[in-house]
Chain A
Amino acid sequence: MIALKRLQILLPFVGIAVLLAVWSLTVWARIVDPVLLPSPVSTFRAMWIGMTSGKLGVDFLKTVERTIYSTAIAAIIAIPFGILLGSSEKVYRSVEFVIDFFRSTPASAMFPLFLVLFGVGDRTKISVAAFGAALVILFNVAYGVMNARKTRILAARVMGASRLRILWDVMLLESLPQTFVGLRNGVSLALVIVVVAEMFIGSTDGLGQSVFEAQQLFNMPDMYAAIFAAGALGYGLNLLFLTIERRFVHWSGK
């Protein structure tokens, strides 16, 4: 029994092992041109060197910085607005279409507009990413506030709580689980937009630029290394927000 339990801890690694095995086998059997698909060993060596002494580490940090900035800006703007909109269903209904419309517009379609507004530089990348993330966060916060349990609000009202206090003490806390859903989706979207922006909007650094440059130079190990770094970053950010959520929204889903 105990041995079986111990084995279960290893379950998540099965997928990784299978992936590496298939990859190694493909390289070893030369099913794919080795120029297009380097071996796992050379990919991870490129990643290690890039991260410790090469430019990849710098690019990684740059992308982290841009993603965090844009998510932070988005959260600072979207959370108060979301609460405001969500606290009155009428207000929300009146702007729902606009929010849904822009939420459905691919943020990448906004690049040219933001380029005109902010020029070629970090401000454009960060503001487009913030724009995309803000709408996702706004939508989730507003819904979280609107779907606050009716009974809890009534319970607070019968105690004589004012509207403001109910908003602050009840609706805000009620919306936290949904707010975290918004933050997680928002940070993922911000990362996507930042990486795309780094590829195509005259960048000299960032993971997107790193992938793009390696591809231009046909340096496949470096390119895969940058892709994996981007993947690790996305996964790590999601994990970070999940951890914060578990700590602060302990009642979520209970």
Chain B
Amino acid sequence: MTAQPAAKMELSRNAHEAARRTAPHVTIRGLSKHFSDATIYDNFDFDIPRGKLMSVFGPNGCGKSTLINMIAGLIPVDAGEILFDGQPLSQIKFGYVFQNYREAMFPWLRAFDNIAYPLKVMGVSKSERTARVEKIVANLNVKIDLNLYPYQMSGGQQQLVSIMRALIVEPEILFLDEPFSALDYEMTLFMREQLQRVFVETSTTTVLVSHDLEEAVYLSDRILLLSRHPARAVEFVHYDAPRPRTLQTMSEADFISTKAHCLEVFQREVRKG
């Protein structure tokens, strides 16, 4: 008799934990956004699942960047709410990787200090910053001379540095806006593997904007297909192939059919507009 309340509490705590684990990480409700001449979002609802790698795929100018910028708090919303674990934006740590690494890195800082900069903003001490950068470099097995300035590095190296800069704060959500589109194919393949490794190791909720359907399916657990603006979530495709995925994965039937399905939906939507 006396043990029962404790057991009940234990149970409810477990249930609570489970609910937290499966509850959406980000909840978007009634989101509206327009720019001077166009309505990009009109009463848009969407849930971003926790601990999944999700891709956003859609036609040019449909509002992919706008969406992640609004979630990251970089641009204001006109109406609606974006909740994190059911709470409005407070002190959430985001990681953000921009497409244009040349304009996103700080050229006056060496690569090492670029990676450490978000920690400096957070007020982390210098010795701790150095230790954490060294740790992430070791974790990712990066072999770049980090004493170089960004402009002395290749595009791929710069983007790798900028991914490390996003990861150094151990973000709750990682955004990547077409991170590999300015790299050559070989570098892109390498960077995909890096991203997958990071994801497998950390299970950070990740939102990837990609223009490459193959890449989107290959890397993702979920693919959000957006329509032309005002953007609707046309479909939220699941792809649950086990990780780590390899080049082999891309020739499996499941992969091919998922990709074909996404392409079909996409073409139908584009033709509509």
B72, B106, B118, B122 interface centre (most CB from chain A within 10 Å): B106
Contacts of B93 in A (CB 8 A): 160
Interface residue SS majority, chain A: helix
Which chain B residue lies CB-closest to A166? B121
A158 touches B103 (CB 8 A): no
> Does B190 have its Cβ within 8 Å of any Cβ on chain A?
no
Contacts of A251 in B (CB 8 A): 107-108, 149, 151
Which chain A residue lies CB-closest to B150? A251
Name B115-157 residues within 8 Å CB distance of A. 117-118, 121-122, 149, 151
> Does B41 have its Cβ within 8 Å of any Cβ on chain A?
no
Number of residues of chain B lying within 8 A (CB) of chain A: 22
Q: Mark B95-109, 1 if CB is under 8 A from A, else 0.
A: 010101001101110
Q: Which of A72-80, A99-107, A112-120, A149-157 contacts B (4 or more CB under 8 A)?
A: A149-157
B107 touches A254 (CB 8 A): yes
What's the least CB distance linking A56 to chain B, in Å? Answer: 42
Say whether, besides A161-B121, A173-B108, A254-B107, A155 and B149 are in contact (CB < 8 Å).
no
Which chain B residue lies CB-closest to A248? B108
A159 touches B74 (CB 8 A): no
Contacts of B73 in A (CB 8 A): 158
B103 touches A149 (CB 8 A): yes
Contact count A vs B, C-beta below 8 Å: 49
> Does B44 have its Cβ within 8 Å of any Cβ on chain A?
no
Which chain B residue lies CB-closest to A252? B107
Contacts of A155 in B (CB 8 A): 96, 98, 104
> How far apart sit A160 and B171, CA to CA, in the bound complex (Å)?
12
> Does A165 have its Cβ within 8 Å of any Cβ on chain B?
yes
Which chain A residue lies CB-closest to B119? A159
Residue from B74, B103, B106, B122 in contact with A157 in the complex, judged by beta carbons closer than 8 Å = B74
Contacts of B108 in A (CB 8 A): 173, 176, 250-251
Q: Mark A126-158, 1 if CB is under 8 A from B, else 0.
A: 000000000000000000000001111011111
B94 touches A158 (CB 8 A): yes
Contacts of A165 in B (CB 8 A): 121
Residue from B91, B100, B151 in contact with A254 in the complex, judged by beta carbons closer than 8 Å = B151
What's the least CB distance linking B65 to chain A, in Å? Answer: 11
> Does A170 have its Cβ within 8 Å of any Cβ on chain B?
yes
A149, A169, A251 interface centre (most CB from chain B within 10 Å): A251
What's the least CB distance linking B172 to chain A, in Å? Answer: 12
> How far apart sit A154 and B74, CA to CA, in the bound complex (Å)?
7
B106 touches A170 (CB 8 A): yes
Q: Mark A68-102, 1 if CB is under 8 A from B, else 0.
A: 00000000000000000000000000000000000
B104 touches A152 (CB 8 A): yes
What's the least CB distance linking B23 to chain A, in Å? Answer: 24
Contacts of B122 in A (CB 8 A): 159-160
What's the least CB distance linking B124 to chain A, in Å? Answer: 12
What's the least CB distance linking B179 to chain A, in Å? Answer: 13
> How far apart sit A247 and B93, CA to CA, in the bound complex (Å)?
36
Which chain A residue lies CB-closest to B118? A159
> Does B77 have its Cβ within 8 Å of any Cβ on chain A?
no
B103 touches A151 (CB 8 A): yes
> How far apart sit A176 and B106, CA to CA, in the bound complex (Å)?
13
> How far apart sit A154 and B75, CA to CA, in the bound complex (Å)?
10
Contacts of A149 in B (CB 8 A): 103
B100 touches A151 (CB 8 A): yes
> How far apart sit A182 and B72, CA to CA, in the bound complex (Å)?
36
Contacts of A169 in B (CB 8 A): 117
> Does B169 have its Cβ within 8 Å of any Cβ on chain A?
yes
What's the least CB distance linking A108 to chain B, in Å? Answer: 38
> How far apart sit A160 and B93, CA to CA, in the bound complex (Å)?
8
What's the least CB distance linking A170 to chain B, in Å? Answer: 7
> How far apart sit A251 and B122, CA to CA, in the bound complex (Å)?
26
What's the least CB distance linking A8 to chain B, in Å? Answer: 26
> How far apart sit A83 and B151, CA to CA, in the bound complex (Å)?
25
What's the least CB distance linking A248 to chain B, in Å? Answer: 9
B69, B107, B169 interface centre (most CB from chain A within 10 Å): B107
Contacts of A150 in B (CB 8 A): 103
Contacts of B118 in A (CB 8 A): 159-160
The list of the 8 closest CB pairs from A to B, nearest first, reads: A251-B107, A254-B151, A151-B103, A159-B118, A158-B96, A149-B103, A161-B121, A173-B108
Q: Identify 9 new A-B residue pairs, CB closer than 8 A, beyond the known A151-B98, A154-B104, A158-B72.
A: A151-B103, A152-B106, A155-B96, A156-B121, A159-B118, A159-B122, A160-B121, A169-B117, A254-B151
10 cross-chain CB contacts under 8 A: A152-B106, A154-B74, A154-B96, A155-B98, A155-B104, A159-B122, A160-B93, A161-B121, A251-B151, A254-B151
